[in-house]
Amino acid sequence: MGNKFDAIILGAGAAGLMCAIEAGKRGRRVAVLERADRAGKKILISGGGRCNFTNLHCLPENFHSANPHFAKSALARFEPSDFIALVEKHNIPYHEKSLGQLFCDRRARDILEMLETECRAEGVQMFLNSKIQGIRHADGFTVFTGSGYFHAPALVVATGGLSIPKIGATSLGYDIARQFGLKIREPRPALVPLILGTIDHAQYCDLAGVSAEVEVSTDGVKFREKMLITHRGLSGPAILQISSYWKEHSPIRIDLAPGRDFTMAIREARERNMSSARSALQGILPKRLATRWLDLHVPKTWANPALDKLEGAIHEWVIEPVGTEGYEKAEVTAGGVDTDELSSKTMQSRRVPGLFFIGEVVDVTGQLGGFNFQWAWASGAAAGRVL
């Protein structure tokens, strides 16, 4: 089989499908080569099965990258409202959950079916179960697969990151970048639960399932959201968010009572003792966590200086995680193709004309809350509009 196209897109995920639609709209003959037996598997499992497809308050500050300015151009030219217009055109019911996060009312499959319908309407050809064996670059790009070769003057790499290998993540995107001599920022798991060291584990992990609203910080970055204790460490939105900024062997600070003065109730109590301390803290934290935390932080006296210390400790619980739950549990991969290698307007390689990288394979990572899909749509559209 020999197939000539205007553009070949590797990967039928969020970014690849959006890119295909935009290129198809401009009359380009597009082939999408996908390794799995169906497109968009990650879309299907996203947002707990409801796909948090964008965020109304999407700002460049919601993304991290070695170059924090890189994402601005693509994000400005394909905004959340552009994606919402598509969702509304397809009559997909959705709602705002919190903090601008938009989710499907029914199921994530609505979003995938919408993208597939748009692809079909634009004549995009999809080749599932494609095993990519190699790429040759001479007079355009030739992609060799188990079932034949494909040729086009443009090649778009949209193969995503390394997270969730069991649904088909591969390193192909990074391998292609290396083949063409492009720099890569070391990939690492992000939006991922953290593992506690032996002592913290022994002290807290039997409370698995307990959650509390906290403020976590590391390296000058802060999030105030829910934290969940797990069998191996900590998770929940606050921890997933901070995990993307956490560097190995560095501490994380957790304020267990943000904005609250818990010792005031002890100071005003008829008697200052463990019982008044417990009831004060149980007004702020779940009972089991409050009790445990106090048992591990019994003040030496009940005088004001000791209470000041106790107050300080609740606002600054310092932990040093020993690692993350890795790509098996990570929602995204941080790092990736260095943005210095790419045009921020088109996602095209500066060194290799005709070669594009979009979506998660690029060193742009969104925070939790629909930002990663917004980056996939925006970077996909940026490339699709110039193919």
Ligand X SMILES: Cc1cc2nc3c(=O)[nH]c(=O)nc-3n(C[C@H](O)[C@H](O)[C@H](O)COP(=O)(O)OP(=O)(O)OC[C@H]3O[C@@H](n4cnc5c(N)ncnc54)[C@H](O)[C@@H]3O)c2cc1C
User: What separation, in Å, do the N-terminal and C-terminal C-alpha atoms of the chain show?
Assistant: 24
- Provide φ and ψ at 23, rounded to 5°: -70, -40
Q: In this chain, which of 22, 215, 331, 341 binds ligand X, going by CB under 6 A?
A: 331
Using the minimum distance from each CB to ligand X, give the nearer residue, 239 or 254.
239
- DSSP states along 272-304: -SHHHHHHHHHTTS-HHHHHHHHHHT--S-SSH
Q: In this chain, which of 80, 187, 321, 359 binds ligand X, going by CB under 6 A?
A: 359
Q: In this chain, which of 5, 8, 31, 42 binds ligand X, going by CB under 6 A?
A: 42
For residue 11, state whether it binds ligand X (rule: CB under 6 A).
Answer: yes
Which run of H or of E encompasses 254?
strand 252-255
Query: 370 with 108: CB under 8 angstroms?
Result: no
Burial level of 350, CB count in 10 A (0-12/13-18/19+)? exposed
For residue 34, state whether it binds ligand X (rule: CB under 6 A).
Answer: yes
Q: In this chain, which of 67, 170, 203, 282 binds ligand X, going by CB under 6 A?
A: 170
From the CB of 365, what's the least distance to ligand X, in Å? 8
Number of residues that bind ligand X (CB under 6 A): 37
Contacts of 367 (CB under 8 A, 6+ apart): 62, 63, 64, 241, 244
Residue in this structure with the two tokens 């060291």, named with its chain if needed: 197
Q: In this chain, which of 124, 132, 290, 310 binds ligand X, going by CB under 6 A?
A: 132
Query: 310 with 273: CB under 8 angstroms?
Result: no
Burial level of 60, CB count in 10 A (0-12/13-18/19+)? middle
Query: 365 with 65: CB under 8 angstroms?
Result: yes
For residue 370, state whether it binds ligand X (rule: CB under 6 A).
Answer: yes
Q: In this chain, which of 376, 381, 382, 387 binds ligand X, going by CB under 6 A?
A: 376
- Chain positions 90 to 119 lying near ligand X, rule: CB under 6 A, are none
Q: Which stretch binds ligand X (CB under 6 A): 38-46, 134-142, 213-221, 268-276?
A: 38-46
For residue 15, state whether it binds ligand X (rule: CB under 6 A).
Answer: yes
Contacts of 29 (CB under 8 A, 6+ apart): 4, 5, 6, 7, 123, 125
DSSP-assigned beta bridge partners for residue 213 = 226
For residue 164, state whether it binds ligand X (rule: CB under 6 A).
Answer: yes
Query: 158 with 380: CB under 8 angstroms?
Result: yes
For residue 10, state whether it binds ligand X (rule: CB under 6 A).
Answer: yes
Cα(377)–Cα(17) distance, integer angstroms: 9
* Nearest alpha carbon to residue 190 among 252, 235, 245: 245
For residue 332, state whether it binds ligand X (rule: CB under 6 A).
Answer: yes
From the CB of 355, what's the least distance to ligand X, in Å? 16
Q: Which stretch binds ligand X (CB under 6 A): 162-170, 207-215, 282-290, 338-346?
A: 162-170
For residue 254, state whether it binds ligand X (rule: CB under 6 A).
Answer: no
For residue 35, state whether it binds ligand X (rule: CB under 6 A).
Answer: yes
Q: In this chain, which of 256, 372, 377, 383 binds ligand X, going by CB under 6 A?
A: 372
For residue 163, state whether it binds ligand X (rule: CB under 6 A).
Answer: yes
From the CB of 17, what's the least distance to ligand X, in Å? 8
Query: What tokens were used for 126?
Result: 């999809």
Write the CA distances from 16 to 109, 112, 334, 359, 375, integer angstroms. Answer: 17, 12, 18, 8, 12
For residue 237, state whether it binds ligand X (rule: CB under 6 A).
Answer: no
Q: In this chain, which of 24, 80, 160, 193 binds ligand X, going by CB under 6 A?
A: 160
For residue 36, state whether it binds ligand X (rule: CB under 6 A).
Answer: yes
Cα(89)–Cα(117) distance, integer angstroms: 12
DSSP-assigned beta bridge partners for residue 189 = 333
Q: Which stretch binds ligand X (CB under 6 A): 42-50, 71-79, 286-294, 297-305?
A: 42-50
From the CB of 156, what's the least distance to ligand X, in Å? 11
Using the minimum distance from each CB to ligand X, give the nearer residue, 65 or 263.
65
Q: In this chain, which of 5, 7, 9, 13 binds ligand X, going by CB under 6 A?
A: 13
For residue 51, state whether it binds ligand X (rule: CB under 6 A).
Answer: yes
Q: Site residues (CB under 6 A) for ligand X?
A: 10-16, 33-36, 41-42, 45-47, 51-52, 130, 132, 158-160, 163-164, 168, 170, 172, 331-332, 359-360, 370-373, 376
